């Protein structure tokens, strides 16, 4: 078999495998196998998971031939299945920031939502409305849970401004999470720093509603939510100099008008205030991404979601892989002069752009 034929065989196998793993992840079958923590028969797994043994047997066939799950035999000669702990740590919800299982859902979900719309837009160059992705906010919340739960408070925030941000958060400052989605990060921060006040901004009303409901349920009283188009913020006097720290996790590249949004960030920051922009670690040219370990995956997510969403409303259509060079240039165009770019120790997918608002910002905007 030629090298390329081998590569094509792998592609077909792994594409199919991703889909099957997404189903297993959604139904928490990996989690169930981890909890069982021993080789089990199909019937035992069916009993523990609540799923039908015939479907489970087919699914296990995929997992065994792909060497995700080990196939063994018990003393009676019956086939048993075992999820090795070193695999479980990447596939179960307990894996926290190591959980890669959650990402298996991304391509199947985007395919189900938007395959037809994106295929059509491919010809016309149009955007695809956010409403075409009805399950996407829920998925982002799940991703945020996996990403932020163990990392945000204990590892990320302490690195910001050499630890000075956490000291100020403990004393009490005004914080905004822009493009906050379901408010996972906002509510975690609000709970960890009760002396500070937190505002989540997003233009997705249902996400905002759910973030506020989660805060209420958790008894968090220092987090509020605002439904607002980020591209209009720079025109709103009432939002001028409102915050000392603004963060935007994975939210700027989806914007149709990212320059206006970044101008809005400067408008909302008090002079000298800090902005953390968290964006995918990539370079702006595909030629410089040849060694990117997740290049094809991330460009595909971008093709299926970030690019079409960012093209709406005659948008810029940055795409998720807009990369460091374009990101830095846009931050400078918006008016940031002090920009520090650093990798994130516990999040190899992303880069942290820490920007300080000019001291004159509140006077000139
Ligand atoms: C990829 S999601 C990230 C959500 C969240 N920050 C996270 O890390 O889970 C991008 C978010 O930006 C929001 N968004 C997109 N365009 C927006 C706009 N013009 N104004 C406000 N929010 C916007 C979306 O509704 C979505 O919640």
| pLDDT tens for each residue of 22-47 | 999 999 999 999 999 999 999 999 99
| Mean pLDDT lowest among 69-83, 129-143, 272-286 | 129-143
Regarding the domain delimited by 3-92, which CATH topology (the fold level of the hierarchy) does it fall under?
Arc Repressor Mutant, subunit A (1.10.10)
Give 80's contacts (C-beta < 8 A, 6+ positions apart). Answer: 39, 40, 41, 71, 72, 73, 74
Instruction: Decide the pairing of beta strands 70-73 and 79-82.
Output: antiparallel
What SS3 state is found at 346? Answer: coil
What pTM was estimated for this model as a whole? 0.92
Contact 343, 353 (CB under 8 A): no
pLDDT at 90 over 70: yes
Task: Judge if the beta carbon of residue 270 lies within 6 A of ligand 1.
Answer: no
Q: Which pLDDT belongs to residue 144? A: 78
> Ligand 1 mean position to 26 CA, how many Å?
23
Task: Judge if the beta carbon of residue 250 lies within 6 A of ligand 1.
Answer: yes
Sole residue written with tokens 């995700």 = 68
364: confidence class by pLDDT, cuts 50, 70, 90: very low
For residue 340, is it left (φ>0), alpha (ψ between -120 and 50) or beta?
A: beta
> Ligand 1 mean position to 127 CA, how many Å?
16
pLDDT at 16 over 50: yes
What SS3 state is found at 41? Answer: coil
The more confident residue out of 284 and 361 is 284
Question: What digits encode the pLDDT tens for the residues 236-274?
Answer: 999 999 999 999 999 999 999 999 999 999 999 999 999
Q: What is the mean pLDDT of residues 87-98?
A: 91
245: β partners: 175, 274
Contact 20, 62 (CB under 8 A): yes
Q: To test the ligand 1 pocket, which listed residue (232, 251, 350) has its Cβ within 8 A of the most ligand atoms?
A: 251
Which residues in 275-288 are b (16+ Cβ under 10 Å) and which e?
bbbbbbbbbbeeee
Tokens for 223, please give them.
């987090």
pLDDT at 346 over 90: no
The domains of the chain are located at: 3-92, 127-364
Task: Judge if the beta carbon of residue 231 lies within 6 A of ligand 1.
Answer: yes
> Ligand 1 mean position to 55 CA, how many Å?
37
SS (H, E, C) 200-269: EEECCHHHHHHHHHHHHHCCCCCEEEEECCHHHHHHCHHHCCCEEEEEEECCCCCCCCHHHHHHHHHHHE
Exposed/middle/buried for 149, CB within 10 Å: 0-12, 13-18, 19+? middle
Q: What is the mean pLDDT of residues 88-94?
A: 95
Task: Name the E strands within the chain.
Answer: 70-73, 79-82, 174-178, 197-202, 223-227, 243-249, 269-280, 338-344, 347-356
Tell me which architecture the domain covering 127-364 has in CATH. 3-Layer(aba) Sandwich (3.40)
Contact 196, 175 (CB under 8 A): yes
Q: Which pLDDT belongs to residue 363? A: 43
> Ligand 1 mean position to 123 CA, how many Å?
26
Q: To test the ligand 1 pocket, which listed residue (103, 106, 202) has its Cβ within 8 A of the most ligand atoms?
A: 202
| Mean pLDDT lowest among 101-105, 128-132, 146-150, 331-335 | 146-150
Q: Which of 44, 115, 110 is nearest to 78 (CA)?
A: 44
**Average per-residue pLDDT in the chain?**
95
**Closest C-alpha residue for ligand 1 atom 22:** 202
pLDDT at 89 over 80: yes
Type and span of the H or E element at 49: helix 42-49
Task: Judge if the beta carbon of residue 180 lies within 6 A of ligand 1.
Answer: yes
Share of the chain above pLDDT 90, in %: 89
Task: Judge if the beta carbon of residue 204 lies within 6 A of ligand 1.
Answer: yes
Q: Which pLDDT belongs to residue 360? A: 66
């Amino acid at each position: 078999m030629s090298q390329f034929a081998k590569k094509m065989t792998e592609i077909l196998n792994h594409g199919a495998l991703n889909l099957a793993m997404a189903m297993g992840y959604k139904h928490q079958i990996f989690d169930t196998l981890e909890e069982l923590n021993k080789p089990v028969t199909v019937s035992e797994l069916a009993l523990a998971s609540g799923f039908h043994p015939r479907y489970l047997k087919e699914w296990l066939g995929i997992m065994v031939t792909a060497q995700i799950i080990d196939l063994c035999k018990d003393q009676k000669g019956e086939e048993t299945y075992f999820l090795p702990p070193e695999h479980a740590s990447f596939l179960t919800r307990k894996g926290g920031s190591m959980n890669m299982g959650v990402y298996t859902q991304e391509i199947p979900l985007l395919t189900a939502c938007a395959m037809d719309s994106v295929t059509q837009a491919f010809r016309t160059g149009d955007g695809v409305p956010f409403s075409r992705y009805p399950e996407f906010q829920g998925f982002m919340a799940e991703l945020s849970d996996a990403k932020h739960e163990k990392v945000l408070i204990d590892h990320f925030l302490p690195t910001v401004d050499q630890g000075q941000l956490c000291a100020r958060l403990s004393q009490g400052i005004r914080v905004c999470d822009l493009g906050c989605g379901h408010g996972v990060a906002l509510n975690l921060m609000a709970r960890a720093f009760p002396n500070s006040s937190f505002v989540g901004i997003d233009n997705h009303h249902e996400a905002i509603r759910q973030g506020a409901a989660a805060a209420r349920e958790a008894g968090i009283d220092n987090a509020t939510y605002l439904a607002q188009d980020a591209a209009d913020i720079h025109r709103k006097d009432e939002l001028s100099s409102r915050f000392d720290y603004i963060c935007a996790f994975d939210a700027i590249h989806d914007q149709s008008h990212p320059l206006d949004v970044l101008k809005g960030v400067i408008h909302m920051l008090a002079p000298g205030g800090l902005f953390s922009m968290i964006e995918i670690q990539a370079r702006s040219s595909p030629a410089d991404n040849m060694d990117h370990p997740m290049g094809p995956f991330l460009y595909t997510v971008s093709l299926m979601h970030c690019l079409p969403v960012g093209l709406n409303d005659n948008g810029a259509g940055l795409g998720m892989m807009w990369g460091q060079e374009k990101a830095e240039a846009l931050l400078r165009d918006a008016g940031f002069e002090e920009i520090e770019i650093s990798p994130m120790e516990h999040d190899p997918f992303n880069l942290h752009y820490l920007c300080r608002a000019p001291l004159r910002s509140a006077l000139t905007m």
